Chain A
């Protein structure tokens, strides 16, 4: 193999690929990157047997070939190299990286041990628009449960309808749902491990192109013109969540997002090990108060200028659940909609109904 390519672009690809190598030391074949050149492109692939990633970029190929390199050393090496271009050359088991000023030699792994990717019998495929997709994904994934004990909620749910896609995730304490516009022919739904969806979000930060999602029996492939990612599909059933989202509310508060975030931050300093902070809401005085108290540190109260309607309410929340929700709202105002002290609060953008975030209160203590 003998190929020359742009260093920065190559670095971008291999850092993404490294994310899909295995972290387990006893599986050496899963810690390599397969670098493969063909015509005028260089391909990099990696797999941990859960996901499989492949990306490609233009390069000037003098001699075609493939090598497998240890991902970690390869990434560390390229990250510190300077210069615009990099030449990669293989001789027997050695791979030489040459820039204008440096020359490096890495030992390669046997190519024939590198896992081949499964072929997917495509059942259907849809094209997902990429506009703000990375952000939309991030706003949902954070609500998923990180523990695999209940795989059905350690997941992101995609409900593909004819005119929209609804993405949802929950860890049973909070729930996030984002609706994105879409034009499709038939509806279906599918559940992915949340980690895989997180990876798609990561990739989108670098390659913001429309994604084609192809679905097979146990596997799905997200692909665009620069890459493809093979993921697993969950067989479990996502909880029937839509009925949980309330439509009527007994107390509503509209606040400026920056004021609210500041108030929650202040209060969080004084909350206890349960991260509890209390909202005291007095409609008659148009008053919204955030209160917290810690017997060792002290106590704090802030009054947030706001617009309050409905009934009086005192309710306690885990501040990190509240923070997670507000930080995903992009407008300058936030709408908080309550139903008493034991039902979840709905956090929303007052001008954009496409994102819904629900968080359960704590027992009043």
Chain B
């Protein structure tokens, strides 16, 4: 039983024991945040709720939890600010703010050059290179030295928070430094779309086209968002062609390779693939550690390697989260005015950071089945039809890789197969992965589905 399920059941019990008003006041925005050998920690949004639950409802809660998880020995409460209602409420940006976002720049934009949209903070100098991004980095560097001739277009893809934007901006900044006369434009595909739409509305398409076709280096971030926007795609296509013919450099980024961007025109896709495609994967431990060191040095912070190493261990996938965790540790130690020890940091981070990615066997199987659009039960049958075999092998592979299931367990799970079948499936997918880009992408998408659902 997952923590959410357990808490959901316990809450149903508690609800019948206390008045409705009490229940809403005290149990809203609570969750189980830790469960270890019969010790359950319930996260509460603020100190008032903690005080009240500890003193008034401790017994009820313990009883309710024991009903569903008899091994429960003790319940503790811990304040988790992100549970508070103003943090969870769906918030809407005030309408009028959006209205004048175009005309009223923010102070933070001071570091952003309005002409080029480049933020001078992002340079190659503060970009940490590791095996996960060295190809992308080398390609970007090469582009700055052979603008428009070597890799055109350059297409960089990778997951969120891995440094695509940093790399893209670095290219722009480097070029700007070497030749300030060149026209550079960094733009997200969403902004491009908006600009294009407003040009259409104000019948200024001619000046829009003129503006984009006179550029020496065009960088479009998150190009995947032009999917389904047919007119924008056409505009990108023509802009691309004009620039490409004139040997002007174009750089794109996306969260997935061109092949996997759905709903874009074939002619555009083939152009994305016409230059150099390179990916940024998730950083390994050493790289994560190096990144933290660089960030800490940038901010002039004395922070021990032990702590950095700890943060690097906890946060595994995303560089943005890595920086966020570092920031919150600093804010915390500023507040308490002391250096935190590893234990304190562990406690603090476990409260503040999304739990490590966990998926249950059931979630994995469900996701695989729905991804390949086959009924779940087919995975367990003896069928050797091709369209069943592959998903089954992938499911076994994921159960091994992400769930750490033992081979006999996996075999058992899939209709009582032998453990050697599971081993065979795992090896087969491992081998395929090395050869087939298609498969790598499929597995990446499946993973992102079940991890995102699990959150």
Contacts and interface: CB of A to CB of B under 8 A. Distances in A.
Contacts of A50: 46, 84
Interface string B330-369: 1110111100000000000000100000000000000000
A26 B335 contact: no
B261 interface: no
Contacts of A119: 51
Interface stretch (B21-29, B183-191, B394-402, B417-425): B21-29
B337 A186 contact: yes
A223 interface: no
Interface in B68-105: 79, 81, 84, 86-87, 89, 91, 93-94, 97, 99-100, 102-105
B47 interface: yes
B352 to A, nearest CB: 7
Interface string A273-284: 110100000000
B114 interface: yes
Interface in B41-60: 45-52, 55
Contacts of B97: 147
B110 interface: yes
The main secondary structure of chain A at its interface with chain B is: loop
A188 interface: yes
Chain B interface residue count: which class?
Answer: 35 or more
B103 A274 contact: yes
B306 interface: no
A239 B108 contact: yes
Interface string B382-412: 0000000000000000000000000000000
Nearest to A195: B86
B448 interface: no
Interface string A161-200: 0000000001011110000000000111111000000000
Interface size of A as a range: 35 or more
A151 B84 CA distance: 12
Contacts of A52: 48
B55 A237 contact: no
Give the dominant DSSP class at B's interface.
helix
B107 interface: yes
Contacts of A148: 86-87, 89, 91
A326 interface: no
A227 B99 CA distance: 43
A243 to B, nearest CB: 9
A218 B335 CA distance: 10
B104 A360 contact: yes
Contact of A118 (B48, B110, B330): B48
Contacts of B99: 273
A268 to B, nearest CB: 15
A344 B110 contact: yes
Interface string A71-91: 000000000000000000000
A342 to B, nearest CB: 6
The 9 closest A-B pairs by CB, nearest first: A118-B47, A172-B106, A118-B51, A237-B331, A49-B48, A188-B337, A237-B327, A362-B103, A218-B79
Interface of A: 26-30, 47, 49-50, 52, 113, 115-120, 123-124, 147-149, 151, 170, 172-175, 186-191, 215, 217-219, 230, 232-237, 239, 244, 273-274, 276, 318, 342-344, 358, 360-363, 365
Given A118-B48, A235-B81, 4 more contacts: A47-B48, A151-B87, A276-B103, A360-B105
20 contacts: A27-B25, A28-B21, A29-B22, A49-B45, A49-B49, A52-B48, A115-B48, A117-B51, A118-B47, A120-B47, A148-B91, A186-B337, A189-B334, A218-B81, A234-B81, A235-B328, A318-B100, A360-B107, A362-B100, A362-B105
Interface of B: 21-22, 24-25, 45-52, 55, 79, 81, 84, 86-87, 89, 91, 93-94, 97, 99-100, 102-110, 114, 327-328, 330-332, 334-337, 352
